[in-house]
Structures are given as C-alpha cells and as structure tokens.
Structure 1
Amino acid sequence: MSDYESDFEDNYEGDLNDDGIRKKAASFVSDKWEQMKRPLWFVGIGIIAIGIHVFIGFAIANNFHKAIAPIVMLGFVYLYLLYTYVIVRVAKSYKEPLVETGEKVQSIWQISFRGFPLLQLAFFGIIVAGFLVWLIIDVRQVNNSDVTVTPHSNIRFRSLLAIICFVIIGFLISANPARVKWRPVFGGIFLQFTVGLLVLRWPAGNSAFHWAADQVVTFLDYAFVGTDFTYGFISSPPPICDFGSVFIFTSLQIIIYFGAIVSVLYYLGIIQAVLSKVAWLMQHTVGTTAAESLNAAACIFLGQTEAAILIEPALLTMTESEIHAVMTAGFACIAGSLFSAYIAFGACPTYLLSATVMSAAVSLAVSKLVYPEVQESKQKRSEDFKFANKGNNNLLECISNGAVHASQFVWAIGANLIVYIALLAMFNTWAGFVGTRLGYDDWSFNKLMGYLFFPLAYLMGASDAADSHTEIQETLRVAELMGMKTILNEFIAYKELMNMKADGRLEGARAQMIATYALCGFSNISMIGSQLGILGAMCPRRKAIFAKVVIRALISGCMSCFMTACVAGILVSKPEACHSNAFSNCVYLSNITDHLSPYLPSTPMPSTTVKF
C-alpha cells in the first residue's frame, strides 16, 4: 500500500470518529436541554414575576395614584391564577358532589305551577322591584339636590317606558311569537343593565371606564407618528389660511394600525382567550348558544367582518335563529378601529366604549325576541368551538397581513362617505324643491327624517330641557340624527352631530348623550348589502337564509342601539357634556404632543380641526 493510500484511510477513519463524537455531543446537549428546559422556564417566569412586583413596589412608593392601573392588572393576573390552578382543580376533585348539587338546584329552579316557573318569576320580580325602588329613590335624591328642578326631571322614567315599548314592538313583529323563550330576552336586558350600572353609576367602575377610554385614545394616537411620516403635509398642514387635516389621511389611517394590532393579538391567542371567557359569560347568563355568544362578544372588540370570520366554521350548521343573532350583533355594534373616526367627529369616548359593550348583550335579547329559536342547535358548547386559522407563520407576517387587510376598509369607507354625503345633499335639495312648491321653504330630507323618528326619540327621552319648545327642537334634532344613521350611515350622522354641537343646535348634555348612544352601531340600510356579501362569501350554500333574516336583523340592530340609549338615559342622572372641540383634536392634533413629543417632527402641529 502506498503512503498516499495509508494517509487517506487514516484521514477517513478520523472523519468517522469526529462525526461520531459530534453526534454524541449533540445528543448529550439535547438531553441536557430537555432536562433543564422546564426548570429554566420556571426560573425565567420567576425572574419576570419578581421584576414586575419590584416595579409595582417602586411605583407605589413614588406615586400611589399613578400605580393604580398596574396594581389592578396584577390583581386580575392573581385572580386568573387562582381560578386556573386552585378553583378549577378543587372543582374537579369534587366533581360528582357538585354535579349532584347542581342538578338538585336546577330541579328546584324549574319548579312551576300551571306552566309558570315560580322561583324564576319570583327571582326576576324581586330584581325588577328592587331596581324600580332604587330608580325612584335616585331620581328623588337628584331632584332634591338640584336647585334647577324642572318639570322634566323625571324623564328617566320615560326612557324606562321606552324599553318596555321596544320589547312589546319586538314581540309584535316576532317571526314566531308563540315560541319566544323569555330567558334570553330578560337575561340579555338584565346583563345590559348590569354592565350599565358598573360603568355608568358605580364610581369605581366609571373611573375605570374613563381611564380605559383615555388609554384607548392614547393608544390610537400613536398611529399619527406613522401617518405624519407617510403623508407629511397632507396629514399635518401648517396653521395658515385655515388649513385643516384631510380626514381620510388622518383618522381613517388609524384603522390600518388597529387592524395590525388586532392581527397580532389573534396570532398570540389573546383575542381567543378573552372572547371565550366573555362568550362563556353571555352563554350562562343570557342562555344563548356558543357560536352566537362568541360572535356577540367579538363584536364588542372587532367589527362585523372580523367577528364573522371567527365563527366562519360554524356558519354551515347554524340554525336560522343563530344566523339572525349573528347579523343582529353585527348591526348593533361598531368596529373598535372606527373609534378614532367617531371621536374625531366629537363623540365622547366613554359613551362609545360603554355603548358597544352594552349593545352586544341586548342584541342577543332582541334577536331571540324577534326571531325565536325553534330548531336544535349544534353549537351549544363553547369549549368545543374551533377558531378559524388565519395562516400567519410569524409575527412580522401577521403585522403585515393585518395592516394590508385593514387598508382595504379605509378606502371603502372613504368611497362610501363620498357617495352618501353627495346623496344627502341631493335628497335635501329635492326635499327643498318639493317644499318650496307647497309653500314650505325650510323643508329638507333631514327634517323629514326628524319627523319620521320623532316619536321614538321623544319616547326615549332625548331631551330634558326645561322649556317645552327647546325640548321639542332638541328631540327633533336627535330624531334627525337617528334617521340619518338608519337611512344613510352612522358616519354621516356623527358628522352632523358635530355640526349641531358646534353651531348650538344641540346644546343639551342629555340630548348629546342619547344621540351618541343611539348612533353607535352599523344598523343602517346600506349595511344590508355588506352583511349579505360578507356572510354569503363565507358560506355560499346558505345565501337564501341570510337574505331571509337580514331585514329582521336590521330592525333588531336598530332596536338594540336605541335600547342602549334608553339604558344610558335611565342610569345617568347628570350626563357629561362632551364638546366637539375637546375631542375632535384628541387623535392627531396639538394635544398629542403631551405623550408623543419625542417621536414627532420638530415643526409645531396645527391646532385646527378636521375640514370636510
């Protein structure tokens, strides 16, 4: 054998030995990592937990008031851990006794006499009686403490009467009045009142909701940094010649930012976790099924399109009543991404947030009243529900896809605004043309809508003005807005609300509040096509059923929004006045520099308002 062949065999054997050593080393490292991975994970979580507690401790020592928010968040974390690792495990260990006790309680709860559930009627009767007593005492206390008591100080009772009338109307137009199950109806209204009491009357809850509204506005403000960089002069023109920011390049651009954030939350599983818990609450209080409860919960945070996407796998097997509930919730709520646009129009952020939460609950109640369940549902257990997979592979792809998807809605909204504002001007011109020929020079489409919706607005207690003439005029203005929202869309109505507040046509705080709540929803005629298009594209086999129930769903959505306004009218004794100038600038104008100044250009931002 030559020296060359000998050296080759030595090297080859050496390579084999090196390869074996590498495999053994890799196997050793892998085994050790598997052994150490779990302890290291616990160590990392422990370090983070200790860091959070240290941070909160220093925050409390520095300023307790500013530390309230992180303290509350930490409290929720402790409650979640307590529920997950203590209560659930204890309940599992006592599963059989708990099940037996639950069955006994259920049998007692179902005791009836001649078809009437005695305990249930007694329970809800006590709640209703207690609420009425509280309302009477509260109204008297407000009247006694207010030096400007007017004959209309008891107008809150009129709002309560309006809710009763809406329930009666819903029963009269019901698809099957004899099959109405009253538990979802009263359960949804009860949940709506409960949420209203927590966020509107409970001082701590009201403060928390105000804080949440401020955080939402602040969170949406960050989109201005990207908008200003991208559009520059168009989004922040200099304060000369009465220049104003262009609406589609400012407020509507926030939709893109919000869409990307929602996509990230969905990718991380946060959206699914929150929605599952809210859906569970609705399912066990209102008594609705998993899919319709989940959709209503999703409508609180998302728009009707995103909410429908979440329940897409269930559309094929849903009952007609469940489909009607899905459509009703879509009509009754708004998209969180549109908060900025409504705020820019002068709507109060606190009212908007509470409206969408309260409308989600009552939308299920009204839906089950107008279109009762007569079929067997296949979507009863929320635990078995599967969320749709959006197919994102990583976080960056998720952000990009969410932004691109949301950008389509910006231009769609802009196109709709162009068309509907033009149509409104045309209708007003036509109405004025007809009116002048008949001797009524002040006729307009807006006034006709006001007269059409005036009975509803008056019944809801839209104005508490002391002067009867002012009361009628304010009620007509609110009725006009309700008509615009129903016939055209809520964007046009909120824009007109801003104009009414700016020129003094709608000065009453209660009228502004009722209008803000009544307009907060997608329940307008133009959205019928959107609903049919969205759901029809997801499940083409059920287009006929979608078309069959959509008109009733639109009516139910309108009733849900108006009932939410009534609940606010009952619970709020002294509405806060949200002036348009205070909120039209909060998203992208001068006061944004308070918390974004390190990121904004050195050129001072204008203090002008949006121009249309």
Structure 2
Amino acid sequence: MLYQNYYRAFYTLLVAAITTFLILDTAKARHRLVGLGGMAFFVVFMFVFSRNPTKINWHPVIWGFFLQFCVGLMVLRWEYGSTKFNQLSEIMLTFLDFSKNGTDFVYGFLSAPPDICGMDPVFAFQSIQVVVYFGAVVALLYYYGIMQVLLRKMAWIMQVTLGTTATESLNACACIFLGMSEAPLLIRPYLERMTASELHAIMTTGFSCIAGAVFATYISFGACPRYLLSATVMSAPGSLACSKILYPETEQSQLLNVEDLKLPEGEESNALECISNGAVMAVELVLAIVANLIVFLALLALLDAIILYLGELVGHDGWSFELLLGYVFFPLAYIMGVNNDTEETFRVAQLMGTKTALNEFIAYKQLGKMVKGKLLSPRSAMIATYALCGFSNFTSIGIQLGILGGMAPTRKRLLSKLASGCTFIAIFVIFNFSFRALLAGCISCFFTASLAGVLVKTPIACQGLTSSAKCFNVSYFQDIVDNSVTQAVNIPQSQFLQQFLSSQ
C-alpha cells in the first residue's frame, strides 16, 4: 500500500510538471496544445476498447509515454541534443549514400541519369537498392557481435524504465534498426513461451516502426531525415505503452530479464560470406517492396475508377478512394493539431488513410508531391511525416502472421483457441487479435505525431532528392531553337546569328 501511494504521488507530480512546462512553453503559440487533445483521445479510446481494462498495469504505460516525451525533448528541443541528432542524421545519409557507387556501376543511367531537368533516377534501380546495402552491413554487424551488444544495452534501459519483459524490450529496440520482418528473428527461440500480451506487443511494435533500410527511400520522396529518425526512436517505447493498454498482461511471463536472453550469432565462416548472405537475403525484401508497390498502385487506380463511376451515377463528380479516406481520417488529423487550415488538414488525413489502407510507400510518395507543390506547410508536413512512419496497414497483418506463425507454429493456437472448429469464428478471432495490434500500431504513430506537434516550435521544410538547379532545361533550349528558326526566315543571316549568340 505504501508503494502504491508513493507511485501515485510520483505520477501526479510528473504529470503536473509536464503540464506546467507545456503551458509555459506554448504561451505564444497555444495552437500547439491541440495535439494534447489528440493524445488524450487516443488514450481514452484505447482504454475503452481494451481487452481487459481492469487489468491494465499503468506503470509501463506511463513510463512508455514519459520516455517518448523525454526522447522528443532531447532530439527536438534541447539545443545540444538537437544538434547532435542532426549530425547523426547527416551521418546516416552519408552512410546510405555510399550505395550509389554500386547502383551507378551496375545499372548505369537508370540510377544515375543525365543531368536533365525532369529526368530523375528510376526508383527501383536507386532508392530501393539501399535495402541490399543496408542488409549486408547489418549482417556484418551481427557477425562481429556489435549489433547484439547495442540491442542488449538499449533493451536493458527500456526494461528498467518501463518494466516490460526481456523479449518485448529487445524486439522494440531491434525494430528501430531492422523493422517488423527481421526484428522477431532475435527472439525466435522464445516465441513459443511468450504470453498473449507479449505476442501482441511484438506485433504492435512491428506495426509502429520502419526498417532502417528504407530510410533513404522515404527521404528521396521528401521526408525529413531528422523527423524520420526521431519518429522511429520515439515510437519504440510508445508502441509498448499502447500495446499494454489495448492488451494488458494477465499471465506470468517466463522471460523477465534481458540477461537471460541468448542472442543469435552469425553462422558464416568469414566476413565475406556474411556480407554476401546478408545482401542476398535483402534481395527478397526488395522484390517484395517492388511487387507490392506495383500491385497497390494498380489497385488504387482501380478503386479510384470504380468510386468515380459510382459517384457519377448519383450525380457527384470527382470522387476518389483518397477523397473518401480523407473524410474518414479528417477528425483524427484535426485533433492531432495539423493546422488551422481545413484543406491542409484534409490532405494530411488523406495521407493517413492511404498509409493505413494501402502502405506507407505510396503515402510518402504523395507527401513528397504535396511538399514539392507547396500544398502543405512545414508543420503539416512534419506531423504527416511522423504519422506515416510505421508499417501499420492491412497488408502488414498478413506479413506479421506469416512471419510469427512460421517461426512459432504452436502460437497459432492463440489466434484460434476459441474457434472450436468453426472456420468463421476462427477467422474472426485471428482478425480480432491482429486488428488490435494493428490498431495499437496506428495509434502509436498518431500519438507520436501529436507529441511532435506539441513540442516543435518551428518546423523545418524538406525537399525530395530531385534534379539539380543547374540541370539542362530541354524545354528552354527548344523554345530558343523554335524562335530562332522563326526569326531566321524573316531577318538577314548576319542579324540572326548576332541575336542567337546574344541569347546564350
């Protein structure tokens, strides 16, 4: 009882201190506090739809959000931390940029086209190829044991502060670098013994993070490196907090301490074999990304055509799938504090809907077009960047079930133990469990975006990687030639040459 009173008093003081800081910090910009309403709504929503609201352990929830707040302060507001984080972002970009040496040699002008205005590199032959390079480097870090040490230290910090189990903490830290497909490989031997809440946390963390290998791709679309990197770090503790609200722990975990985990080591005989295997394994991910983009962009066009046709039948022209998604997600975008401008809020809502219904690649591509066309303010673009930073879409449900089910076949019973042989009920239970995790992942991303909107005073604007300002403008010189030909017919040859040379 004494400890409960102590914790209650501590949490009360903590909330009061944060509230006081935000009130003073937003004295000249009260519109930033709108995001607080969004954060409160998400917490209440998760509590109402929690699997067992009375069993929620608020310690990991409060500490998860508090750790997220501290990380946000450190990288977004603290001058020294912000400077160092910006330097880290630049280092990351330089590191990923080395992949161009390989792609330019292999693919030639497809990845490094001539410096002509409007002629950009082919996406599949430049940006997405960073995945292969990154996969090989991560495999090399595993071979030398560097990644294991880094993840173990980060997981220990998260476990001490949040009180989450060893597997949950380790997976959350691994997702920052590896993403939802590779991170569970670290805890593969322990999946069979995990509780339902732990498995739910694993899925939630996977939905709320992105893989480090796709950073360069999103940056090429126009997402700010600083925001991307901070979003994936902030989402790690936030995703665990959201998971523990929607699916609280009601069992006794067998994996409490990080020290008890034995992380896998590289099985290759030497470093060269390790690099080769890592690159080859990453090729499968590249093919999956390309295939999904082709299919979903085609399906998006199909849905737009169908909805446009149905709209015309009832006398409403201009309907599209993105338009409908914008209406659905508009209330969420508004309470997240996107902007006072209704049109900008609606555009961000469309991006959120596209990311959830299709995938984040398409959403970031559309975000880049909006930023380039100056359709979004820096603040709206920043919040959208945070909100889109995660694999929380319906396609990822199948990917997660395939990965976790393949690594731990016996855990499939968790998803169908209430089915009693009925196929329809089994499908409902599987969807219910997975949908909770997807919902928690979406809310984690939106919560992080709301927090960023509250903390950041002056958002920065970023542009995608496009052709240089000194590129060869074909249209400009075509106009010069056309005008010169016209003038050549009407003026003497000497005068024509003089005018043509003076125009250069």
Structure 1: how far apart are the matches of 2:95 and 2:117?
31
Structure 2: how far apart are the matches of 1:554 and 1:472?
28
Question: 1:244 Cα deviation (Å)?
Answer: 2.6
Q: Hey, what does 1:481 align to over in structure 2?
A: 351
Q: Hey, what does 2:445 align to over in structure 1?
A: 561
Mark the runs of 5 or more structure 2 residues left unpaired by the alignment.
Answer: 416-429, 475-504
Q: Hey, what does 2:379 align to over in structure 1?
A: 510
Which of 235, 246, 252 is 2:128 aligned to? 252
- DSSP 3-state at the match of 1:304: coil
User: Do structure 1's residue 584 and structure 2's residue 465 form an aligned pair?
Assistant: yes
Q: Hey, what does 1:441 align to over in structure 2?
A: 317
Aligned residues of 1:312 and 1:388 also touching (Cα < 8 A): no
Aligned residues of 1:590 and 1:606 also touching (Cα < 8 A): no
| Paired AA for residue 465 in structure 2 | S
Question: 1:607 Cα deviation (Å)?
Answer: 10
Matches within 5 A, 1:120-131: 120-131=7-18
Structure 2: how far apart are the matches of 1:245 and 1:513?
25
| Paired AA for residue 139 in structure 1 | T
Matches within 5 A, 1:6-405: 111=2, 117-140=4-27, 143=28, 153-240=29-116, 242-405=118-281
| Cα distance per residue 1:179-234 (max 9 Å; x no partner) | 11100111100110010011011000001111111111110000000100011121
- DSSP 3-state at the match of 2:182: helix
Question: 1:452 Cα deviation (Å)?
Answer: 0.2
Aligned residues of 1:239 and 1:607 also touching (Cα < 8 A): no
Mark the runs of 5 or more structure 1 residues left unpaired by the alignment.
Answer: 1-109, 144-152, 465-470, 592-603
Segments of 4+ in structure 1 off by > 6 A? 604-608
- DSSP 3-state at the match of 1:442: coil
Aligned residues of 1:313 and 1:388 also touching (Cα < 8 A): no
Which of 390, 403, 409 is 1:534 aligned to? 403
Q: Hey, what does 1:17 align to over in structure 2?
A: none
| Paired AA for residue 497 in structure 1 | L
Q: So what's the TM-score if we normalise by structure 1?
A: 0.73
Structure 2: how far apart are the matches of 1:402 and 1:427?
37
Structure 2: how far apart are the matches of 1:607 and 1:566?
41
Question: 1:439 Cα deviation (Å)?
Answer: 2.1
| Paired AA for residue 557 in structure 1 | G
Which of 345, 354, 370 is 1:500 aligned to? 370
Structure 1: how far apart are the matches of 2:184 and 2:359?
20
Question: 1:606 Cα deviation (Å)?
Answer: 8.5
Structure 2: how far apart are the matches of 1:325 and 1:241?
47
The CA RMSD over aligned residues, in Å, is 1.8
Q: Which has the higher contact order (CA 8 A, sep 6+)?
A: 2
Question: 1:478 Cα deviation (Å)?
Answer: 0.5
Structure 2: how far apart are the matches of 1:300 and 1:286?
17
| Paired AA for residue 286 in structure 1 | L
| Paired AA for residue 529 in structure 1 | G
Question: 1:309 Cα deviation (Å)?
Answer: 0.4
| Paired AA for residue 449 in structure 1 | L
User: Do structure 1's residue 570 and structure 2's residue 454 form an aligned pair?
Assistant: yes
Inter-CA distance 457–405: structure 2 relative to 1 (3 Å threshold): same
Structure 2: how far apart are the matches of 1:475 and 1:318?
41
- DSSP 3-state at the match of 1:440: coil
Aligned residues of 1:237 and 1:606 also touching (Cα < 8 A): no
Structure 1: how far apart are the matches of 2:117 and 2:239?
47
Structure 2: how far apart are the matches of 1:405 and 1:545?
30
Structure 2: how far apart are the matches of 1:504 and 1:357?
28
| Paired AA for residue 110 in structure 2 | I
Q: Hey, what does 2:491 align to over in structure 1?
A: none
Aligned residues of 2:68 and 2:235 also touching (Cα < 8 A): yes
Aligned residues of 2:116 and 2:471 also touching (Cα < 8 A): no
- DSSP 3-state at the match of 2:404: helix
Structure 2: how far apart are the matches of 1:338 and 1:176?
36
Question: 1:430 Cα deviation (Å)?
Answer: 1.4
| Cα distance per residue 1:24-78 (max 9 Å; x no partner) | xxxxxxxxxxxxxxxxxxxxxxxxxxxxxxxxxxxxxxxxxxxxxxxxxxxxxxx
Structure 2: how far apart are the matches of 1:446 and 1:177?
35
Q: So what's the TM-score if we normalise by structure 2?
A: 0.88
Structure 2: how far apart are the matches of 1:523 and 1:482?
10
Aligned residues of 1:590 and 1:607 also touching (Cα < 8 A): no
Structure 2: how far apart are the matches of 1:228 and 1:254?
12
Structure 1: how far apart are the matches of 2:164 and 2:404?
20
Structure 2: how far apart are the matches of 1:268 and 1:156?
45
Inter-CA distance 111–494: structure 2 relative to 1 (3 Å threshold): same
Structure 2: how far apart are the matches of 1:402 and 1:120?
46
Question: 1:437 Cα deviation (Å)?
Answer: 2.0
Q: Hey, what does 1:552 align to over in structure 2?
A: 436
| Paired AA for residue 390 in structure 2 | G
- DSSP 3-state at the match of 1:311: helix
| Cα distance per residue 1:522-572 (max 9 Å; x no partner) | 000000010011111111111232536211100000000000001101110
Rg larger in 1 or in 2? 1
Structure 1: how far apart are the matches of 2:111 and 2:173?
34
Aligned residues of 2:142 and 2:265 also touching (Cα < 8 A): no
Structure 1: how far apart are the matches of 2:458 and 2:406?
46
Structure 1: how far apart are the matches of 2:52 and 2:270?
48
| Cα distance per residue 1:404-429 (max 9 Å; x no partner) | 00011111100100011111111111
Structure 1: how far apart are the matches of 2:15 and 2:115?
56
| Cα distance per residue 1:90-120 (max 9 Å; x no partner) | xxxxxxxxxxxxxxxxxxxx615xxxx2211
